[in-house]
Structure 1
């Protein structure tokens, strides 16, 4: 049947003999297939919601990492740890759930939100042919975490295998600049006085970046912060990709595959940090931002 065809309701069979059908009752009606007027609008709404949710997740990861770091460095009691108190206040203002904040503080003390002892674990991941990743994990149940994360990797088209040789283990501390603060030379002169300092750089976003031997990271971070009264933005032991093993990301398809993997892994609070040997190739800045927001270096 043509859905837009007109037809008449002349219900003569229902009329008794001698009855007359008035003209208004035999008028024509148009029957047109219904349009899904709200479908396109809902698709756009879902897309906007997905983008917003990803931004929220990225912000939450940033806040919880900072809270965990300050808890680890200066203790879990906000009354005696102003850096932690400020980070918690900022996270609360940004609507980070209380459960995530409490969990981040607990992780800084080496335990889960339920009080169970956390154990460190590393997962090495390969995205064929040459994308290498390492995930640093802290969990109270290694078997469960390994099972869950392997499923995420497989779903994204990755493999769990040996990739550590693509990276070097290094300490990395980032300090926020302040008005009237030290120059790069001042920070360099102070840093080289401490055993284990490897390099000092200006950070692209401002402030200073210091590379250290892993075992010396905490001592150097505290010394520089105290000497110049600088706020610590990051202080972590990283898996830094070796220069000769870095791989360019050149296609939108690879961006989507990696984004599926990285965002999937980030949904698990056990994943403390993610490292990859990738660098921006011919993809756009927006496409690169999709990936960079998930990785720690």
Structure 2
């Protein structure tokens, strides 16, 4: 019987994954600070990025260093925001948001990923119209539905979605209202497991079998690219290997 990976190997893999998450958050903090200033009190996008970093156990020193690099107090790299759009197998729409210091490298990596798993890169706007930008506060199964719903209405949220399969709950808001809704919910003692501004598709496409396998591999490959910040799709993979 073969042995699994050693404790050291598993730790190294975990550390590498954690390092990649940190790199993506640091880039987001930098771009937000450069665009809207280094004061999170006056820069909502920076506040969201800092919260994400702290939630991932990033130290305040690392956060402050990223802000100082972005605002010119320390020497740093300047990153550019780029969005790519395309289709995965089965007609699944995919949006790839990147922060890069080398557009040629990034588009080559993204194009290679789509081609490798049977998809194709599209033109600007080819799939974005299928998605909406919104704030999402996600609560794990077992959360108090009644209390969350009351607080969400009070906070000015747009919708509360309860998922019947596991009882998890999402509170949805307009991006501009996200900060207020999040603060109000937390003030009521309701701290979400995940809080983010994201893109969600108007309608999902169910894929199964080999197609679903290719879609899942493509999305995972894209998410693992250094220059990629976020990957959004309208794939419903609940029947992935049916």
Cα distance in 2 between the residues matched to 1:65 and 1:174: 24
TM-score, normalised with respect to structure 2: 0.65
Structure 2: stretches of 5+ with no match in the other structure: 30-39, 41-45
Cα distance in 2 between the residues matched to 1:241 and 1:128: 17
Q: CA 1:189–1:239 in structure 2 vs 1: closer, same or farther (change >3 Å)?
A: same
Paired residues for 1:76-115 under 5 Å: 84=54, 87-88=57-58, 106=66, 115=76
SS at match of 1:265: helix
Aligned length: 212
Q: CA 1:166–1:85 in structure 2 vs 1: closer, same or farther (change >3 Å)?
A: closer
Q: CA deviation at 1:59?
A: 6.0
Paired residues for 1:127-276 under 5 Å: 127-161=88-122, 162-175=126-139, 183-195=144-156, 197-202=157-162, 208-225=169-186, 227-243=187-203, 246-251=204-209, 253-276=210-233
Structure possessing the higher relative contact order (Cα contacts under 8 Å, 6 or more residues apart):
2
Q: CA deviation at 1:67?
A: 6.5
Structure 1: stretches of 5+ with no match in the other structure: 1-40, 90-101, 286-297
TM-score, normalised with respect to structure 1: 0.55
Given that 2:20 and 2:226 are in contact with CA atoms closer than 8 Å, whether structure 1 keeps it comes out as no
Given that 1:198 and 1:213 are in contact with CA atoms closer than 8 Å, whether structure 2 keeps it comes out as yes
Bigger Rg over Cα: 1
Cα distance in 2 between the residues matched to 1:200 and 1:136: 26
Cα distance in 1 between the residues matched to 2:56 and 2:91: 41
